[in-house]
A and B are shown apart, each in its own frame.
Chain A
Amino acid sequence: MSKADAAAAILWIGATLYAVFGGADFGAGFWSLIGGRSERGERARRLIDSAIGPVWEANHVWLIFILVVLWTAFSVAFEAVTSTLFIPLCLAALGIVLRGSGFAFHEVVKRPSERSFAEHLFAASSVITPFFMGTVVGAIASGRVPIGNATGDPWSSWLNPVSILVGVLFVATGAYLAAVFLITDARHAGDADLERYFSTRALAAAVVTGAIAVAGIFVLRDDARYLYDRLTAEALPLVLASVACGIGAIALILRRAPRGARPLAVGAVVAVIWGWGVAQFPYLLPTELTIAAGAGTSATLTMVIIVFVAAAVLVLPAIGLLYALTQRGILKADVERD
């Protein structure tokens, strides 16, 4: 494996972490949005709040990670993506601003009308942001991003079947992941009603996500032939693994199994992300720019790898401590509520 491939793998690890943690976080916002004003909906929102409150920033730092690794290790690709896909990236950034503001303020504001406004801001942008991120990924995957400063089409690069499909898929995947995560959170909170509530939603999201993925096969065949050919050949084992994980997770949720659904749901998402990577390999921007051609200098790639290892050594223990403490905190809060 060359250093450029290693840097690309680091990029993909960042994308995986963002898809899982950021995706679940967006998904939680999605459920908060459609939860409604019923007593049950409010209770679901409280659970969502307690689950994501303290780890929110940690989830979203992965996006910064992706941006920084991309512009450091593959600056040519960064230039191409951010200039051609100016519009969807602006819209995603807008979603991030609204979402972050909603998050920053919704804990603090007390008046019901303001709180509801902040929550809506948070929830609506939880849908906008992953959708436009997905259109960006769709544009890259379908080979619509040429090298250079804004040389691609500013509109059709992301307003096309593949981009729209991936955008919707991102929203659905996040909702699916979040629902599966929240089943366990509800069980930890001792709320059997919410456990059922999120089980139903996890199943619905699983079916919808699966249906979009199946539809996606046909869209890719027509619109992103390169990716389609590789997904049905080199990357096929990962695609099948994802399907198996997805079905396994559904089975476990149906049987109300106490554990196993979470890792399988995560596995389904991880397999898709890496399937995409394998299908694109050796391209960074399919058929436009290979990983080797897009990579920065050797010294830079070495530094990226060093910094990545340092980050893993420093950040993982800290984040482990945070997750451990917050899990304990949720338990404590529930003791009081009962």
Chain B
Amino acid sequence: MTDLGSLIAHVPDVVAASSELLPARSQMAFTLGFHIILACLGVAFPALMLIANYIGLKRDDEVALGLARRWSKVAAVTFAVGAVTGTVLSFEFGLLWPAFTGRFGDVFGILFAIEGIFFFLEAIFIAIYIFGWNRLSGWAHFWTGVPIAICGIGGAYSVVSVNAWMNQPQGYTLDAAGNVTDVNPLEVMWTPATAYEVSHMILAAYLVTAFLVASVYAVGMLRGRRDRHHRLGLLIPLTVASILAPIQFFVGDTAARAIAEDQPIKFAAMECVQHTHTHVTEYIGGICTDDGVNGGIGIPNLDSWLVGFSSDTEVTGLDSVPPDERPPANTLLHWSFDAMVGIGTAMIALGVWFGIVWWRRRDIPKTPWFLRAVAISGVAAILAMEAGWIVTEVGRQPWVVQGVMRTEEAVTGASGIWLTFSIVLVLYALLGVATILILRRMARRWREEGVDAVQVPYEPRPGPPVPEDGR
């Protein structure tokens, strides 16, 4: 009867814990959703900056070098803010989910240790690169920037592969009490979900950053600033985005099929498939009910066909697991998935439009509608990425580690998360507004006073005049 006794003894804990579950999930979702935007910039902005730097050096192009220099300063500001929001997340592994980290920290933790190296190197080389403007010779300076871009990709792998492990845990053994007794690090670091999830996110980071940067210059051009600076500032990121958007579609499609196979309940939730059957209709939009999608545009057989290239393909339904193992908010999941795919498709269309016009006339499309479309593409790309994270994270609920540990078991026994969440909301709102205002002000001062007018974090105080061949 000791088991029953200890169970009863734990009832108050469980009740107390579950009351903190919703605020803890909300805080995690909000802080992660905020940080991921900055993380995208941290991963991909250095690459755009290096492309501009490369063009500038190759063609002796002062405009391209000016862009690279400004982008490095913007990257420094967003990296500094991202370092703050990232530190908060590492606190939250303990403050919000101590039981998750306590139980599985020795399984997935090592990936964060690797991420730490990449982050550290990235911080150091950003400082060196920013420092190096006007102090190192052109190409030496360029090469100090290359590790930033490499570390960004390495860091993205490390973090996202933890998420891939949460979606498809493997590489560990548990004893009867559920404690980890053995770990196979290589299996943890490379799950079946790692390849598509990591590449999907790295591409997303590049798309978000590229469209965001392009949209800034599109807005400038719509306001009549049609100089070469704006043109190049639009062309570099838009070219990158146009090339990557179709690749992202292919990777995302592969990911969706893999999820249908490996995480069928997540797939069922995002497509709102209630019962396991064949010839499943693909719905776009609509409300998800217990009887399937209500409303929306239905395309017969398409869902089956997308999963297995045949309308005879059986798609697993939500009813294959007990109700308490199904994800919540199915309509949200369904819409998020549709939004992601829809925006991704629109991005490809935008890239094709740009590509055709460029191919025929070596120019960007003349109509203001093109610039308007680019102008909203940055925000649209962020929405698509956030929607994707909603699909993968809410879609895994009620599990924190798929099939092994429920989120309610992971949450802290401490109380007061509604309070911390409220404070976080206010602080992050201020942080977000301050970041945007400061970036806008930097742009204005660059226009009025030139690129040297703005000091950024990591930067040394103004030094003596530049030696002759410095860039």
Contacts and interface: CB of A to CB of B under 8 A. Distances in A.
B105 A149 contact: no
Contacts of A214: none
Interface string B67-85: 0000000000101110111
Contacts of B110: 72, 300, 303-304, 307
B460 A50 contact: yes
B441 interface: yes
A325 B442 contact: no
Please tell me the size bucket of the interface on B.
35 or more
B450 interface: no
A34 interface: no
B463 interface: yes
B127 A108 contact: no
Contacts of A87: 414, 416
Interface in B425-439: 427, 431, 434-435, 438
Given A49-B461, A75-B109, A104 B120 contact: no
Interface stretch (A55-63, A205-213, A230-238, A267-275): A55-63
A216 interface: no
A2 to B, nearest CB: 15
B101 A79 contact: yes
B182 interface: yes
A121 B113 CA distance: 30
Contacts of B63: none
* Interface of A (DSSP majority class): helix
Interface string A78-97: 11111110110110011011
Given A296-B106, A307-B117, A332-B463, A325 B87 contact: no
B125 A296 contact: no
A319 B95 contact: no
Interface in A296-330: 296-300, 303-304, 307-308, 310-311, 314-315, 318-319, 321-322, 325-326, 329-330
A329 B135 CA distance: 9
Contact of B420 (A80, A90, A300): A90
Given A97-B84, A149-B102, A319-B124, A67 B454 contact: no
B456 A61 contact: no
A283 interface: no
B181 A72 contact: no
Interface of A: 46, 49-50, 53-58, 60-61, 63-65, 67-69, 71-73, 75-76, 78-84, 86-87, 89-90, 93-94, 96-97, 100-101, 103-105, 107-110, 148-151, 154, 296-300, 303-304, 307-308, 310-311, 314-315, 318-319, 321-322, 325-326, 329-330, 332-333, 335-336
7 contacts: A46-B461, A100-B81, A104-B77, A149-B98, A311-B113, A322-B124, A325-B128
